[in-house]
Copies of this chain bind each other. A is one copy, B any other.
């Protein structure tokens, strides 16, 4: 019986790389297309917030597509953080990262195709990195004029740190987890929050693949080597700083929150040990009574 099953990939790593590829593809397709729409329409068909929202929706959709397969990293900085935390084998780091990069490149290419005429109309046919008609920023991120190297590096470290700090707690059963089936939506909201608060200095890449993929596309599609040489070879900052920031954010979460949560052994085997977390929950359930009683003394 003829069957499409012969196409099924048996190698788990290949399947996971396909998922990371597709997820990052979707993320960048939403995000860069929105940037192209806002830029080429001169903000008549959307504004800065539209681009933030598109990246946010892209994260959500990409996570629903791939979270069951790889955990939906979509970002080498996230993969690295999970490797450091011991949640993902180190052998996954390079293949995942390359898949993410390829997905970002391909999505940028498709956005370039779809918005080719709009970009040509907007830029007068001259693809540049500087000036009022620049279109390079549709794809990769570039720093504001006044930023120093150190400033943008710190910016990317803090932005990626916020990302890891805020998403690591969402799945923690001993704290207040988000609903498992809505984690993609919650992460999307967090990414929206980072976009509206940490993109002022250099565009909040917080993701090496999200930045390098589109930058390579612009290199090959006509913007020239300036996309790498501009701002004194600034391009390496969104590649390196997010990796450091992601790990720092993960440590911050560990030191302030995760380390102090009750042991799962204690919770399961020694339920007589009352942790503060348990106590809080008890107070919650007795609050109808407690409140009534306390009110009596007002």
Spell out A's residues near B (CB within 8 Å): 1-5, 7-9, 12, 15-16, 18-19, 21-22, 26, 29-31, 33-34, 36-38, 40-41, 44-51, 53-54, 56-58, 60-61, 63-72, 85-87, 110, 113-118, 120-121, 144, 146-148, 151, 154-155, 158, 162, 165-166, 169-182, 184-186, 188-190, 192-194, 196-201, 252-261, 263-264, 275-277, 280, 283-284, 287-296, 298
**Number of copies of this protein chain within its complex:** 4
Please state if A30 and B151 are interface contacts (CB–CB under 8 Å): no
A38 to B116, CA, bound (A): 28
Please state if B26 and A162 are interface contacts (CB–CB under 8 Å): yes
List the B residue with the shortest CB-CB distance to A201: B118
A116, chain B: closest CB distance, angstroms: 7
A56 to B154, CA, bound (A): 24
Please state if A61 and B193 are interface contacts (CB–CB under 8 Å): yes
Q: Which residues of B contact A296 (CB under 8 A)?
A: 1-4
- From B67, B258, B294, give the contact of A86 (CB < 8 A): B294
- From B155, B194, B256, give the contact of A114 (CB < 8 A): B155
A73, chain B: closest CB distance, angstroms: 12
Q: List 13 A-B contacts (CB under 8 A).
A: A8-B259, A18-B260, A30-B162, A37-B196, A45-B48, A57-B196, A57-B197, A64-B166, A64-B176, A65-B253, A67-B176, A177-B181, A188-B189
Tell whether A46 pairs with B48 under 8 Å between CB atoms, given A53-B193, A64-B166, A174-B288.
yes
Q: Which residues of B contact A283 (CB under 8 A)?
A: 87
Q: Which residues of B contact A34 (CB under 8 A)?
A: 196-197
Please state if A64 and B181 are interface contacts (CB–CB under 8 Å): no
A210, chain B: closest CB distance, angstroms: 15
A186 to B288, CA, bound (A): 21
Q: Which residues of B contact A29 (CB under 8 A)?
A: 158, 162, 197
Q: Of residues A22, A57, A178, which shows the largest number of chain B Cβ atoms within 10 Å of its Cβ?
A: A57
Q: Which residues of B contact A64 (CB under 8 A)?
A: 166, 169-170, 175-178, 186
List the B residue with the shortest CB-CB distance to A182: B179
A251, chain B: closest CB distance, angstroms: 9
A119, chain B: closest CB distance, angstroms: 10
- From B7, B45, B87, B199, give the contact of A259 (CB < 8 A): B7
Q: Which residues of B contact A18 (CB under 8 A)?
A: 256-257, 260
List the B residue with the shortest CB-CB distance to A113: B154
14 more contacts with CB within 8 A, not counting A7-B259, A37-B197, A116-B151, are: A9-B260, A15-B276, A31-B197, A45-B48, A47-B47, A56-B193, A64-B186, A67-B176, A117-B147, A118-B144, A118-B200, A176-B181, A178-B182, A263-B288
